[in-house]
Structure 1
């Protein structure tokens, strides 16, 4: 059973070059995907952490940065294995989205239902006061 109330957890990229410890804002309850052009291709499930709550223990110098469109969101990857580890959000620049697949012992397939945020029409591009939109949900169904 998935413990969604986890507060702090170790994380790493696939090859182990980038390692960090992260304190999550609300455990795994913030798990979500996004349907913007970039996230659709990346396909990761992310959880939330404040900027000050990621502490790198190894490999921070191995991270590479990718930015597109407005250049406000900052997407980080391991330069050795290419795994997306985290990104600084455009919608909430005081937070990181952290790839749940990098969290020790956690898989995106552990979540039965993951909300998909509307990112194709980004919150910062909508009229002031517009609420965040949920574009749908992704349901994982185990193979029989």
Structure 2
């Protein structure tokens, strides 16, 4: 993997969360959000120290319930890679009505199946996916 290319920290489950949400699940308290966020930042700092471009990958409801994402983008601007789409099924084109409006989004994953048989589909909002692949320095 070329230096400066993206290494994403995937955080979709396993958050510290002890507050019942009223639907059989749990959300994070302020202290738990702080701990979850600090753990994410620790990982992202390590990724950056290793010479790669760190990104936080998740989906909006999980992020809002368990993470202080504003703290992440304060240190790593435009580093959110957020998945948001209406259905699991082939969708070769983004449905912009499902864009997860949040500050700091660098990549939006608009489908889990861009083509039949696999591959997700993403919209690069900042050019971040070029990181590491346009640099003339070799790893």
TM-score higher than 0.5: no
TM-score of the superposition, structure 2-length normalised? 0.25
More helix by share: 2
The structure with the largest alpha-carbon Rg is 2
More strand by share: 1
TM-score of the superposition, structure 1-length normalised? 0.24
